[in-house]
Structure 1
């Protein structure tokens, strides 16, 4: 999947499901894609983004539980507006349960590089991180 040696990239995975986070993190490390730092909540992701620079991120954004569907994009906005230790232009992929036209427009405005629809296999996340890793290697 990835032939280049690990460049020790730090990438962030924001996902509430522990098993998925652990699987992706351990597999990415064993494939030499870099280190995937895990955050189960937006709050822990915000803390991690303040403390450390990441070269890429995959962030789960879910519809609010209240009536209607309202996605929380504040974490994306913080990164894109330079309110983290990471470069504001890092590649970001998002995981969503449904992709409406309005959401896709919002994500394009925030320069999201990939949209991953739920449900998916862990392999899809690994491919996203591999893509980020190889893109950073060409810069």
Structure 2
């Protein structure tokens, strides 16, 4: 049941796993959380961010394997530096496989509102979008 009327929000989900993207997108829509636009790659997400404004985003950040673990934070930087059609201050949650002290500092510096550790259930992503949309669903 919805506690607040749904307004149409566009949110971005950047995740390589198609089943997870589809599950979250369809469930968010059915719960009235808005439309979750799916991007499988950073390149697709960059294109989508140039073309439309989003009111929130959940972005998977993978650790590169060359020379140790280096997370690619360029997509976050582009949004935060106003290089997208979205407001630079939109709420952003990230999904990571491990949360090091250095990474947490980098994410805090970029005003990331939530960190989701992998593995997780789709419900966790829905809760993140619920928080961004302001629609309470239970």
- Shorter-chain TM band: over 0.9
Deviation beyond 2 Å, 4+ runs, structure 1: none
CA–CA distance in 1 between the matches of 2:83 and 2:116? 25
Question: What is the Cα deviation at residue 89 of structure 1?
Answer: 0.1
> What is the TM-score when the length of structure 2 is the normalising length?
0.95
| Greater relative contact order, per chain length (Cα 8 Å cut-off, separation 6+) | 2
Return 5+ residue gaps in structure 1 as ranges: none
Return 5+ residue gaps in structure 2 as ranges: none
Q: CA RMSD in A?
A: 1.1
CA–CA distance in 1 between the matches of 2:71 and 2:88? 21
Across the two proteins, how many residue pairs are aligned to each other? 135
Note if 1:126 corresponds to 2:126: yes
Residue aligning to 2:51? 51
Deviations 1:26-76 (A, max 9, x none): 000000000000000000000000000000000000000223100000000
Residue aligning to 1:91? 91
> What is the TM-score when the length of structure 1 is the normalising length?
0.95
CA–CA distance in 2 between the matches of 1:8 and 1:60? 24
Structure 1 SS opposite 2:94: strand
